[in-house]
Amino acid sequence: MQLDLATVDHLLSTTRAVRRRLDLDREVPAGVIEECLRLAIQAPTGSNSQGWRWVVVTDADKRAALADMYRRSWEPYVAMRVAELGDRPVDETMTRVASSAGFLAENFERVPVHVIPCIHEQGRPQEQGLWGSIFPAIWSFQLALRSRGLGSSLTTLHLVYEQEAAALLGIPDGVAQAALLPVAYFTGDDFKPASRRPVEEITYWNGWKQSRP
């Protein structure tokens, strides 16, 4: 089957981190989440171990608890970033991102679905192998969501309180949490490609900072 490259390229270039445009009032059917996860677990894993696990949180009290953990990390993180910037000017893009991230932090518990991707740690001596066996699946999950009109954002701030989250959700020892994804339908029509540096500036051939032959 020949793929529709225009559609595929549009999906890959417009899957954004969605925060402010998450629809906080629209229910997300469980079947849609499961459908996206079925696609996500087609992603490759090291040694085909398939050690991923997915904790989907819809319970309001548990979402509120996770939101509290997120905010407890968010507030000192913001203070640190402000101190680092000092009097330096902040460009418009960063201001917009900071505003949307702040909105998400304030409303995290209102997002109808929280998804925590997890990975079994046993037999993975290197972190690269551990995370390389879960993040391809996370991205596939986000792409599947996007294609069905849902948005998500990959966050990791709650991991400061990973053990607290594990106790809340009954996640056993030996299972690492990789992220926390707030998931909801997105509002508005579509997304645009983001502004990025030219690929020629950040791609090296046959050695560091070597130009294409």
Residue 187 lies in a domain: yes
Neighbours of 143 (CB within 10 A): 18
Number of domains within the chain = 1
120: closest CA among 167, 53, 37, 67?
A: 53
- What is the CATH classification number for the domain harbouring 129? 3.40.109.10
Residue 45 lies in a domain: yes
φ/ψ of 193, rounded to 5, equals: -60, 145
pLDDT digits (tens, 9 = 90+) for 118-140: 999 876 557 888 899 999 999 99
pLDDT digits (tens, 9 = 90+) for 26-44: 999 999 999 999 999 999 9
Residue 212 lies in a domain: no
Alpha-carbon torsion (200, 202, 204, 209), positive or negative:
positive
Relative to beta strand 150-152, strand 181-185 is antiparallel
Q: State the number of CA atoms in the 13 A half-sphere of 16 facing the CB.
A: 19
pLDDT number for residue 65: 98
Residue 210 lies in a domain: no
Cα 104 to Cα 59: distance, rounded to the nearest angstrom = 18
Q: What is the pTM of this model?
A: 0.91
Where residue 81 falls among pLDDT bands split at 50, 70, 90? low
Residue 213 lies in a domain: no
Residue numbers of the domain that contains 188: 5-202
